A and B are shown apart, each in its own frame.
Chain A
Amino acid sequence: MNPLFAVRDLLRERRVATTGQLATELKLPREVVDDVLAHWQRRGLIESEIVETGGGCGIGSRSSCGGCNGCETVKTITADIPSISAYRWLGPH
């Protein structure tokens, strides 16, 4: 497998993905994926963006839903990551 092209192909297919997603699916070290993404970013084929995952904040606040603890569920499921860097494919599909 060639990491440079494997990451490109997967990102082109998924259109948006995070370093963690790419590293998990391709079984590559995150640092290598970071370097590969830096290459494609420099080449203008991808762009990075910050994605708000919710992280439980503002979802189902007690004032609006009676406090069913749903926000805690979101926090647990999304590992309480309020925002993550994602990379969006800009090149041709």
Chain B
Amino acid sequence: MTQKSRLPGANRPEKTPVVAVAGNPNCGKTTLFNLLTGARQKVGNWPGVTVEYRSGVANIDGQRMSVVDLPGVYSLLGGGGADQDVARTYLVHGDADLVLNIVDASNLERHLAMTFELMQVGRPMVMVLNMVDEAEAMGLLPNPERLSEALGIPVVPMVARTGRGQAQLVEAITAALADPPVVHTHVFEPAIENPLRGLRAVMPGRTYAEKRFEALRLVEDVVDTETPEIAEALKNTREAIESLTGEDAADAVAGYRFGWAHDTARKGIGFRHKHRADNTMTERVDKIVLSDLLGVPIFLAVLYSVFVVSFSGGNIFLDFFDQTSATLLIDGVGHLLLSLGVPDWLTAITAGGIGGGLNLVFTFVPPIGLTFVFLALLEDSGYMARAAYAMDRLMRKMGLPGNALVPMIVGFGCNVPAIMGSRIIEDPRGRLLTVLMQPFMSCSARLTIYMAFAVVFFRENGGQVVFALYLLGIVVAFLTAFLIGRTAVKGEAMPFIMELPPYRLPSVRNVLLQAWQRLKVFLLRVGRVIAAIGLVLFILPGIGWTGNGIATTDIDHSLLAQGSRALAPLFAPMGVEPDNWPAVSGLIAGAAAKEIVIGTLNGIYQRQNSEDQMARYRDPDIVGQLYDALMTIPANTVAFLSTLGDPLGLQAMSSNESATQASGASNATLAAIAAGFTPLSAFAYLVFVLLYVPCASTMGALKREVGTGWMLFSITYGVGLGWGAATVIYQAGTFAEHPLASAGWIIAVLAALGLLIVTLRYYGNRQALRPRQHLVGEQP
């Protein structure tokens, strides 16, 4: 090659050996070069290019030698800019007497790919295993002896930055120049090596290495040839490799190199612990939480723990918050207003309506606040991302988009951003399914209703009940996506794109800040709505249809009561008694916002009790009530500690005392709820609240994201499913009392579900025959 005569090192004085420092970029070549040459350096340009050329003179044990600092290069076959061309040309065609192949011990596998190529050049070589300190800090244990044995060349562990290992390197260089080590040119497996010989034989080149590299560059498709003889040999070589390896020739050659580097790196680098891949905390934890078998059960167990601990722990302070806020906001405000001469009706509205609403909101601050703290803890630790990842596999098996879980987790706070968050899914089908799943996620507004009913009916195992409702929401969301994805919008799930963040020790500040942000939103938004609706419903039920037309009347004969009673039979199959018309009012009002359900109940029940309340306003025992409130903390703590031995709440579940606990509820609204439901009908009611029509904001988000058609479908589907599920639960629970009627209701619900599936399939088949359209915005 004519280029050779112009390369650095050419025309050098006799007996001045040349040592080339070669390796990937950023592995410490220049540091090593400086260490060897000190100030005796010269800088110029490589011939014909504007790439900087640095060489120097080293004096090792009285022997002068020229040291060349080559530009970093990833592969001798090709790639990179002019600087890498220069290094490549020098290493293949130059006349260095010794190559110092410097590699990064903390990233050995990658660097060994070029070592594999350098060895094939056959030039005497010493490996410098640099940055062993960084490797050790990562828990790696470099094993230069074993690496040297695997490679057949000397390997010197070093920290070039500090000079650690310099003496050993000097010794190795001296020995290598005096008695050049024979580099066993690595040969590929016979399935590659044998066919390669034929091509190498026809390649131009001065040396074995030159011919070999040109042949490899051709086989790996790095360069092309126009010489017919070479083209023919190349074709034969490729065909032979492909038939012997079963892989495309270019892939077989590259694959062998990657495999060799992988295996050799495992020989050269040990690990502080027994198993290679398991020695970091993240990997060890991930191996369990991301496993096919345990990933999903662990997620469910974690979620279960969050709700049980939040509810049970929150219970310690629940009565304190309830009684304190009732004393101050209802009795205290009522007494103050009466003392100021405010009329009774205005006092009743302010203290009963607004104060009662706020009392309800404050009552649930402990369990809801704790839930937010635990959810923030899971997010900040990096676990929530794992939960999404673990669920991905399960969801993809069901044909669902895996990253639907990220918006779903957001949906625990509010369904609206969850629906908007579905935009992270690129695939229109996956996005549509994800959007339709979100209304079934239990948002914080529903949490208030769950908590209220749990306190009344399931005080000792309320956490389990709340978890069951959350879980039911998730299951229904999955089944909805599964059903629609297999019928109306058939297709394949696109994969999940998300990088897993490392596990972090959660920052107390972040967790508390995140939880406080959510609690603040809950208090402001939910509290505002409940208080406002309590006020409205305190006033509105004062008019009704009488024999003389619309006139003022008591609440039980108001328009609200008359309308709700008319609709009550619709809810009778799910256990709502005709007399419990406030429960129906709550559901109707709840279509605007789920917070309103409990606000409505509060407004009505407070109104029904308003006369009793007036007596309390006139003569409240503020100090005594506050003292009683404070005393609930130690009592509830003892109760909490006694439940620790029964995390599943089995004992409480088998007890019949839950309903009677309601009689002790200090809050008038909670006491009224207790009177209107049984535990079973309360649970059925909660299931309906979970599944039925989403709030107005969610409907708006649905319309914006997937169009009016799918929004209407979501509403109808949710109401139908909620009613069906609640009816089946109630009828199954009371089957023994009226088996014929219960069986009829259950069969009717299942038949309706069957009809829905058939309709969706019909729609899906009809869509499949139509020209492809955008899914989003279509009318189902």
Contact = CB atoms under 8 A, between A and B. Distances in A.
A1 to B, nearest CB: 7
A42 B701 CA distance: 43
Contact of A32 (B221, B258, B382): B258
Contact of B424 (A24, A54, A73, A79): A54
Interface stretch (B300-308, B413-421, B565-573, B665-673): B413-421
13 contacts: A17-B497, A18-B499, A20-B499, A20-B500, A54-B421, A60-B414, A73-B410, A77-B385, A77-B406, A78-B501, A79-B501, A81-B499, A84-B499
B380 interface: yes
Given A16-B497, A24-B286, A4 B113 contact: no
B518 A68 contact: yes
Interface of B: 74, 107, 109-110, 113, 221, 247-248, 250-251, 254-255, 258-259, 261-262, 277, 283, 286, 379-380, 382, 384-385, 388, 406-407, 409-410, 413-414, 416-418, 420-421, 423-424, 426, 444, 494-495, 497-501, 514, 517-518, 521, 525, 697, 701
A2 B701 CA distance: 48
B283 A60 contact: no
Contacts of B262: 1-3, 28, 32
A32 B113 CA distance: 9
A69 B517 contact: yes
Nearest to B421: A59
A53 interface: yes
A73 B379 contact: yes
Interface residues of A, number: 49
A90 interface: no
B529 to A, nearest CB: 10
A12 B70 CA distance: 38
Given A60-B414, A68-B521, A70-B414, A35 B495 contact: no
A78 B498 contact: yes
A60 B499 contact: no
Contacts of A2: 255, 258-259, 262
* Overall SS of chain B's interface: helix
A59 B518 contact: no
A17 B697 contact: no
A65 B414 contact: yes
Closest 7 CB pairs of A and B: A60-B417, A70-B417, A79-B501, A68-B414, A54-B424, A2-B259, A4-B255
Contacts of B247: 5
Residue from A3, A35, A67, A73 with most neighbouring chain B CB atoms (10 Å): A73
B495 A17 contact: yes
Instruction: Identify which of B259, B423, B495, B518 gathers the most chain A CB atoms within 10 Å of its CB.
Output: B495
B414 A35 contact: no
Contact of B521 (A1, A8, A17, A69): A69
Contacts of B500: 20-21, 24, 79
A47 interface: no
Interface in A1-29: 1-5, 8, 14-18, 20-21, 24, 27-29
Contacts of A65: 414, 416-417, 420, 697, 701
A4 B406 contact: no
B426 A51 contact: yes
A36 B277 CA distance: 20
Choose among B416, B498, B500 the residue with the greatest number of A CB atoms under 10 Å from its CB. B498
Contact of B258 (A4, A52, A60, A68): A4
A92 interface: no
